[in-house]
A = this chain, B = another copy of it.
C-alpha cells in the first residue's frame, strides 16, 4: 500500500476531530461543566481520579522503552525523556486538591473508580504489547487537548470561583504540552514508516480517548451519587462544600 505521511496525518486529525465532537456532544460531564449547578466536589473527584491515572503515565511511558527491544534508538530515547518529564505530575493534582481546602491525612485516600482502573490497565497493556509506536496515539490526543478543554476550564473556574493556585495541574500542562505535542508529531514523522503504524496509533488514540471519556462520565456519576447523599468513598468531600451550594 502506498504511504503518504501528509495523508496519514490528515486522516489521524480527522479521526481526532470526530471523537472530540462526539464526546463534546454526548458527555453529561461536559454539560454539567457548562452549566451552573455544580459545586467543587465535582472538580475534586476529577482531581482524585486524575491523580490515580497520572501516577501511572510516566511508568507506562518508561515501559515502552524498557520492554521493547527497539531498533530505533531515537524513539527509545524519546520514551525515556518523555517519561522523565511526566514524573511526579500526579503530585500537582494532589497539590490542587489541598489548595482547594481538603485537609491532608484527614480522610481515607479514595481508590480509583472502575473506569479509571480500566484506563490505567489499558495504557500498560498497549505500552508493553504490540507495536511500540502505538502509545504515541495516546500522547497525540492528550498533549493536544488544551484547545478543546481550555474554554471548559475557564467556565469551571468562573462557576466555582477558583484561583490559579488551585488550577496548577491544568495551567502547568497547558503550557508543557504545547511543546510536547510538537515533539510527538516530530517523532511520528520520523519513525512511522507504514500505514499500519498509523493505524495502530489511531486505534490507541481512539480507544484511550473513549476510556478517558468513560472515566469522566464516571466522575460525574460519582458526583451525582454524592450530591444525592448515596454512600460514597467521596463522602468526606461534602465537609468542604458550603451547604447552600450543594445540588439538590
Contacts and interface: CB of A to CB of B under 8 A. Distances in A.
Interface stretch (A26-34, A58-66, A164-172): A58-66
Nearest to A59: B66
B114 A125 contact: no
Interface of A is mostly: helix
B125 A117 contact: yes
Contacts of A58: 65-66, 76, 80
A126 interface: yes
Interface residues of A, number: 34
A125 B127 CA distance: 13
Interface of A: 55, 58-60, 62-63, 65-67, 69, 73, 76-77, 80-81, 83-84, 87-88, 91, 114, 117-118, 120-122, 124-126, 203, 206-207, 210-211
21 contacts: A58-B66, A59-B65, A59-B69, A62-B62, A62-B63, A62-B80, A66-B66, A73-B88, A73-B91, A76-B88, A77-B87, A80-B83, A81-B81, A81-B84, A114-B203, A117-B125, A118-B207, A120-B125, A121-B124, A121-B125, A124-B125
